[in-house]
Amino acid sequence: MPTVEGTLCLTGHHLILSSRQDNTEELWLLHSNIDSIEKRFVGSVGSIIVKCKDLRVIQLDIPGMEECLNIASSIEALSTLDSVSLMYPFFYRPMFEVIEDGWNSFLPEAAFKDLESMTDEWRLSEVNKDFSVCPSYPPLVAVPKDVDDDTLRKVATFRHSGRFPVLSYYHKKNGMVMMRASQPLTGTNGRRCKEDEKLINATLRPGKRGYIIDTRTINVAQQAKARGGGFESEANYPQWRRIHKALERSNVLQESLIKLVEACNDQSHSMDRWLSKLEASNWQTHVKEILTTACLAAQCIDREGASVLVHGTEGTDSTLQVTSLAQIILDPACRTIRGFQGLVEREWLQAGHPFQQRCAQSAYSNSKPRQEAPVFLLFLDCVWQILRQFPCSFEFSESFLVLLFEHAYASQFGTFLGNSTAERAKLSLPEKTVSLWSWVNRPQELERLTNPLYEANSLVIWPSVAPQSLLLWEGVFLRWNRSSKCLDEAYEEMVHIIEYNKELQNKVNTLRRQLAQLETEDPLLQTP
């Protein structure tokens, strides 16, 4: 970033740097985007290093030690507000016309209508309408038609935090389904629940087997038994084959992000050091493991013709990474801008991923991580890997993924506030805040986020998970470390070529029509 001289202003929610130079953009930084600050002094000039959740680092040089300390303490106080209701989304008033209220754009009822047009084997249950059966589930969930609400209540007591198996995805091609849940509470005594067995067996076709993909290693799943958790035993679930994968828990992921960002900011210019730091972060390994597991789930459904149940411990983190990525692989609708919004809404927000907890800190925070973890960022990274391998199959560009990363950590919109639908309802977010989707679905924003190479592809897409195929997501991790001027110019040139190609295609079509018309008018002109 270039050096800018200007006036610093702190408001209740923003740090604003207004330049005295012409043609320089004002910096408006949300206090909620600040991850940590550092103070340095050289003589009478103090520097405040502001480290942001979007991985930006901004240095403010302020003359006068006392003034510098006062500003630093104000920034610290304003960037660590505990009360959600004091956050900017509650005070933000849109400067744009809200054409579509994003809070009503992706309701479960609408998604269920699509399902009803394909099958009559499922129903929308209101068993959780007051959030009493499962606090992290939405009020409406899709379950097998033959399973009544009393059965669901019993199953909820047998699953961690009440997260009983619900429908995640229906594969139109062969009628197979993917369900998600949390771990069963079998414990050391091998407790069983007939209602749970009935519920998941209701998703199987006669004579067919299903797969349970447990996102924990067998050792971790065994250890969970001692704490009252566990897994489905072969004896009680004979029609299901259990597969264990090794997706890491949140604390390991947070440590991995910190190490990765540290490697990306390393100024030593030593190749060995960069590569060893990148490897030591294990970030690419996590990307590989998540993609591999999502491919496995998609393979079971599409190639094996089997239904799948995915769960880890809580069913709110790695489970959602797998179910949502499997849908991107299988379902072309999820690769459109609107379809991807629906996927994030359905499989992350309504499914109870605790955004407020997971995104409270990013890579620079000095305080001890509590429940922070880049679970959603890892998912976006995996989507970017697939987008890069299939650049024409996605309606949205990388910019959309970067936008979602930024807004998950700090936003003027209420979409990612709270940890569940219940919390969002309690905070009255739909009434008191603007939805991110209201902003995204404006024609001018959609145009900015659209991939110019997009050509609808109705096929299943199988990404390569070979280490050589997976790259560092520079658009996020190296975004602030170097100029994107060359990339921007290359992108503009690509858009220009595509537009020119369309023009030529239209000319060809016009000439063909003219030729056909001439041939019908004069038989002598007909081509042999």
Hey, what amino acid is at 316?
A: T
Half-sphere exposure of 367 (CA within 13 A, CB side): 12
Q: Which residues pair with 272 in a beta bridge?
A: none
Q: 77 is written with which tokens?
A: 């106080």
pLDDT tens-digit profile of 285-332? 999 999 999 999 999 999 999 999 999 999 999 999 999 999 999 999
pLDDT tens-digit profile of 344-355? 999 999 999 999
Q: Which residues pair with 38 in a beta bridge?
A: 49
Q: Which residues pair with 142 in a beta bridge?
A: 124
pLDDT at 214: 98
Q: Which long-range contacts (CB under 8 A, 24 or more apart) does 237-240 make?
A: 237/197, 237/200, 237/212, 239/201, 239/204, 239/208, 239/209, 239/210, 240/200, 240/209, 240/210, 240/211, 240/212, 240/309
Q: Are 312 and 216 in contact (CB under 8 A)?
A: yes
Which DSSP helix (H) or strand (E) runs through 134? none
Q: Around Cβ 109, how many Cβ atoms within 10 Å?
A: 8
pLDDT at 462: 98
Give the distance from CA 275 to its chain's centroid.
27
Q: What is the pLDDT along the chain (528 residues), one digit of tens a residue?
A: 678 888 899 999 999 998 877 767 788 999 999 999 999 988 888 999 999 999 999 999 998 888 999 999 999 999 988 889 999 999 999 999 888 999 999 999 999 999 999 999 999 999 999 999 999 999 999 999 999 999 999 999 999 999 999 999 999 999 999 999 999 999 999 999 999 999 999 999 888 999 999 999 999 999 999 999 999 999 999 999 999 999 998 889 999 999 999 999 988 878 899 999 999 999 999 999 999 999 999 999 999 999 999 999 999 999 999 999 999 999 999 999 999 999 999 999 999 999 999 999 999 988 877 899 999 999 999 999 999 999 999 999 999 999 999 999 999 999 999 999 999 999 999 999 999 999 999 999 999 999 999 999 999 999 999 999 999 999 999 998 877 777 778 878 888 888 888 889 999 999 999 988 888 887 666 655
CA nearest neighbour of 207 among 311, 305, 310, 308: 305
Q: Are 475 and 384 in contact (CB under 8 A)?
A: yes
pLDDT at 525: 64
Dihedral angle at the C-alpha atoms of 131, 136, 142, 145, nearest 10 degrees? -60
Distance CA 518, CA 91 (A): 65
Q: Are 175 and 272 in contact (CB under 8 A)?
A: no
Distance CA 353, CA 421 (A): 10
Distance CA 526, CA 120 (A): 55
Half-sphere exposure of 324 (CA within 13 A, CB side): 29
Q: Around Cβ 214, how many Cβ atoms within 10 Å?
A: 24
Q: Around Cβ 257, how many Cβ atoms within 10 Å?
A: 23
- Strands of the 177-180 sheet, one edge to the other: 166-170, 177-180, 307-311, 210-214, 240-244
Distance CA 244, CA 23 (A): 56
Domains and their CATH numbers in the chain: 7-81 (2.30.29.30), 108-481 (no CATH)
Strand residue runs (E) in 274-410: 307-311
pLDDT at 331: 97
Distance CA 182, CA 309 (A): 10
Q: 489 is written with which tokens?
A: 């110019």
